[in-house]
Amino acid sequence: MKIKYLTIILLFLSMNLFAQDFLGIISYNTALPTGKTSDYISDYSWKGFSFEGRSFTNRNWTFGGMFGWNIFDTKITDLIQIDDETTGTTIKGTQLRYTNSFPMMLNGHYHFGKRKSSVRPFMGLGMGTYYIVQRFEIGIFQREVSNWHFGLAPEAGVLVALSRSTSLIFSVKYNYAFSSGKTVYGDTDNTQSYVGINLGLAFFGY
């Protein structure tokens, strides 16, 4: 629990420490699930957004924080088969599966080119927590688990200037949440990961 509050406090502090040369970003996020996230829900996610703040410490480097929300969901009717040595169980029903991921991260980015360049590629790394809620529904039955994960998020993207103070931002971010707690099925390996593909607007404040 402490890590949750610490991250939130640091996130806001990081946004306010450097009042000058600030970059505020609001993004529409889509995501391709990978690994165990994909094992549970393989459908591409078209639902998500994030808010981010970056402060320039010099011409190229920024430090800041972000908060996001990605939603994965699917409806499937596949059979569920559970086997042990002597018995086998088969379950048929409409399954609704959901994963809600809330990344809260501190991050650093290196922006190539000059401050006034119209196109500025960047690379960065986020570090912080993911609050991930998994929910499984079949018939009238449902089960939900939620866990806080430590996570890393390397990112690459580009800023394309639309005006002096506004840019279009496109980025690809690999979200990796280290295992924490159990999955909705009770599996102890609860590593979650997905590739976020994000499009948004960035606003410069000087």
Partner 1 sequence: MNTYFKKKNKTWQKYLPILFLFTLMISITSCYTDYGLTTADYDVVVTNYDKTTDYDTLKTFTVVDSVLHIKGDEEDLITRQFDNLIISTVRTNMRDLGYTEIPNPTEQDKPKVVIMIHALGSQVDQYYYGGYYPGWGWGWGWGGYYPGYVGKSTYYVGTIFIDYIDVDASEKDPNDNLVIPWYATINGLLNAGGTESRVTNSINQAFDQSPYLEIK
Other Cβ atoms within 10 Å of 84 Cβ, number: 7
What residues line the site for partner 1 (CB under 8 A)? 26, 28, 46-49, 69, 71, 73, 75, 79, 85-94, 96, 98, 100, 133, 135, 138-141, 166, 200-201, 203
| Nearest CA among 161, 150, 74, 37 for reference residue 111 | 161
**Distance between CA 63 and CA 191 in Å, rounded?**
26
Q: How far is the CB of 152 from partner 1 (least distance, A)?
A: 24
Q: Which is nearer to partner 1, 123 or 137 (CB)?
A: 137
Instruction: Indicate the residue among 88 and 189 with the shorter CB distance to partner 1.
Output: 88
Smallest separation, CB 45 to partner 1 (Å): 11
Closest distance of CB 60 from partner 1, Å: 26
- Give the shortest CB-133-to-partner 1 separation in angstroms: 8
Q: Which is nearer to partner 1, 58 or 141 (CB)?
A: 141
Helix (H/G/I), strand (E/B), else coil: 40:
helix
Nearer to partner 1, 13 or 57 (CB): 13
In terms of Cα–Cα distance, which of 159, 170, 172, 173 is closest to 204? 159
Q: How far is the CB of 88 from partner 1 (least distance, A)?
A: 5
Element spanning 94, H or E: none
d(CA 119, CA 162): 10
For residue 14 the two structure tokens come to: 């990081």
* Nearer to partner 1 among residue 94 and residue 117 (C-beta): 94
| Among 175, 204, 206, 205, residue whose Cα is nearest residue 192 | 175
